[in-house]
Amino acid sequence: MAKHYDYSYTQDRELSWLKFNERVLAEAGKSTVPIFERLKFLEIFTNNLDEFFMVRVGSIHEMSLIHDNHHDIRSNLTPDEQLIQISEHVRPMYRMKDRIFENVSTQLKKIGIEQCTFADLTKDEKKYLKNYFEVMILPVLSPIVIGKQHPFPHIQNKILHVGLLLKKKEKEAFGLIAVPKDLDRMIFMKDNHSLRFILLEDVIAEFCDILFENYTIEAKTILCVTRSADINPDDEIYENTSDYREHMRQIIRMRSRLKPIRLEFYKKGNAWIEKYLMEKLDISKNDVFKSSTPLDLKYVYSLVDKVPDSQRKKGCDRPFRPALNRDLIPGQSITKQILQRDKLLFFPFESIDPFVQLLRESAHDKETISIKITIYRLAKQAKIVKYLCEAAENGKEVVVLMELRARFDEENNINYSEILEQAGCKVMYGIEDYKVHSKVCLITKKNNKGIYYITQIGTGNYNESTSKIYTDLSLMTASKEIGQDATRFFNNVAVFNLEGTYQHLLVSPSTLKEGILKHIYRERMKAESFQPCGIFMKMNSLTDRQIIDALSEASCAGVPIFLLVRGICCIRPGISGKTENIQVESIVGRFLEHSRIYAFGVDEEMEIFISSADMMTRNTKRRVEVACPVYDPVLKQRLKKIMKVLRADNIQSMKLLSDGTYVSKWKEGETPINSQIYFLNAARRNQKKKSEEKRNVFQYIRKYLKK
């Protein structure tokens, strides 16, 4: 029997995500944000939306075909209703993006950076581009005309094309030219005083007449097709594939051939071309979008790189180097310092280097028996892999659980898995039907006193690149109890046991949700008996219906609840008798808020967990995730300070209202607090203090030696 849900305090997951991406776009519209950062936010928004269509919209399309009567448990919408509302919400975002791009382009032009149209060019520049087209572009183009000899082609996912309406002897035909991926997107004019450029697709569209001399070109347009990318690697149709790595390679290749779900036109469309492609691609009017902003904005990073240093400095965020952790002494063994006391790294304000150094030390330490680690995403040039390989080559047992199903990072993980295997590491590829998303590293050592452990548990990936732009937490502890739980965890994963029991860790899919629900219930019981209580939860997304309902019940009992949810949030706060004691905020800023912190209780009784898991059903039920308690009193105080600053943010933080809209927290006369800038400045001060202490030590040594 279907369960009946109360929808009065919940909202649709997909529409909530679109509101998050709208907050990303809003950053691009802020005049207070440096001009090149605004350009980057436009690209991030566009890339986010592309992935949303490929993954989420693709999945809903599939659901509408298979389960057309399915009702979402948060919004009660059917798949078809969701698709209609998504289209209605996305169209204004396209218009907003176009306005912001036009404004940013105007500001860039004032400082000598101009994206030109052909109308902006001089006669000599047009002549230069025609020659450039004939010499550099024309030889690599592959035009086709659709007809009996050339049936309608497969248009690849997210590849720009020039589409043409052709006429020959009163007959209409469709022409298509793929924009080559290997050519430079920006073609710069020969001007020493400014950066004036035109995009490759505009040049091809302008001069492509030469390719169709026997036709009359009635119309031209630039277009892009987005296809579904939501392939399930564990689908039963692949069950006969014995080589899992090869299986994943097939998945990657298939992505480019899945169902079209969006058709975009750049600058101007054409009614005939639009109707023709809708029929051939089997998509509706709701799936067609027009934009005066380039459809692929990845070129903006190359553009910023070409800007003179002095100009780039003015137009970008102030550069910074992640500081050394406040509790670590430079030049001393990381291993020895962790054995003395737990350490907590706070990215990107602090460097990931101490963890990398821990791996390097362990790879060469004669007391190291084994290193076991779960890997979801890695940097393109990963030192972590280097030291894992060195450990294996030095005779240590190295076990790597490499999740090959990290969406859009599959190829990178496949390549690294091969490198690790060749070095002698034992590589596992996850668990059937469950992605391993946890961030756990267990280093087991042995000395004359017996076995001891160093365990690292984090909220983010072992990725040296993203650790500089994502906010994450990484606990490194010598706790025997945590080490023993981590040992059980790796043993259970190795034999596909998802029902293992743990004394301290919360592990999905068995105990994480149950543990979180118990802590919420305990705070509810406190409220009902008039004891001090409270809940703080920081995460990327909140969609799990059981967690949402438990929070509503706790709110009704009087528990003050603060939810800091960067992205999707399916609970609506402030609803009388349902969520009136719940406050929801979202921080979108220079760094991607990625850390997960779950705190229950108040003052000295507060229990704090850091975790790899969001409160989404996919995390709590269909992934292997870990939440780890933080016991060290010094680190707990530090986390409490972090939570306090996050709550106080009134610059980047937006408040969710009961109707599902977000508003600024800023009030005139308040002291401005930008949490990310606060943490950045605190790290800088700490680094400066460490440098001064180091300098003072050297000065003392020099004076001593002179004596």
**Buried b or exposed e, range 286-325, using 16+ CB within 10 angstroms:** ebbbbbebbbbbebbeebbeebeeebeeebbeeeeebbbb
| Residue 442 near residue 372 (C-beta atoms within 8 A) | yes
- In whole angstroms, what is the distance from residue 141 CA to residue 424 CA? 45
322: which 2 tokens?
A: 């992640």
**What Å distances lie between residue 351 and 48, 472, 476, 600, 666, CA to CA?**
27, 11, 14, 28, 31
Enumerate long-range contacts of 270-279, CB under 8 Å, 24 or more apart.
Answer: 270/163, 270/165, 270/219, 270/220, 270/221, 272/165, 272/172, 272/218, 272/219, 273/163, 273/164, 273/165, 273/174, 273/219, 273/221, 273/223, 276/174, 277/163, 277/223
- CB half-sphere exposure, 208, CA atoms < 13 A: 32
**What Å distances lie between residue 516 and 218, 474, 572, 644, CA to CA?**
63, 20, 20, 21
- In whole angstroms, what is the distance from residue 385 CA to residue 359 CA? 10
- In whole angstroms, what is the distance from residue 523 CA to residue 605 CA? 11
- In whole angstroms, what is the distance from residue 442 CA to residue 486 CA? 7
Indicate the angle between helix axes 353-364 and 383-393, nearest 10 degrees.
10
Is 437 catalytic? The answer is yes
- In whole angstroms, what is the distance from residue 45 CA to residue 297 CA? 10
Select from 77, 80, 71 the least CA-distant residue to 3: 71
- In whole angstroms, what is the distance from residue 55 CA to residue 688 CA? 45
Instruction: Give residue 192's region: left, alpha or beta (phi > 0; psi -120 to 50).
Output: alpha
Q: Which of 61, 437, 519, 594 is catalytic?
A: 437
| Residue 572 near residue 551 (C-beta atoms within 8 A) | no
- In whole angstroms, what is the distance from residue 13 CA to residue 82 CA? 10
Instruction: Give residue 577's region: left, alpha or beta (phi > 0; psi -120 to 50).
Output: left
| Residue 579 near residue 404 (C-beta atoms within 8 A) | no
| Residue 252 near residue 410 (C-beta atoms within 8 A) | yes
DSSP secondary structure of 482-543: HHHHHHHHHHHHHTT------SS-EEETTTHHHHHHHHHHHHHHHHHTT----EEEEES-B-
386: which 2 tokens?
A: 């280097």
CB atoms within 10 A of CB 669: 4
| Residue 490 near residue 372 (C-beta atoms within 8 A) | yes
Contacts for 668 with CB less than 8 Å, ≥ 6 apart: none
Element spanning 110, H or E? helix 79-110
> What's the first-to-final CA gap in the chain, in angstroms?
88
| β-bridge pairing 561-565 and 582-587 | parallel
- In whole angstroms, what is the distance from residue 439 CA to residue 326 CA? 22
CB atoms within 10 A of CB 197: 20
- CB half-sphere exposure, 249, CA atoms < 13 A: 8
Select from 499, 500, 501, 542 the least CA-distant residue to 520: 542
3-state secondary structure at position 255 = helix
| β-bridge pairing 426-428 and 607-611 | unpaired
Catalytic residue annotation = 437
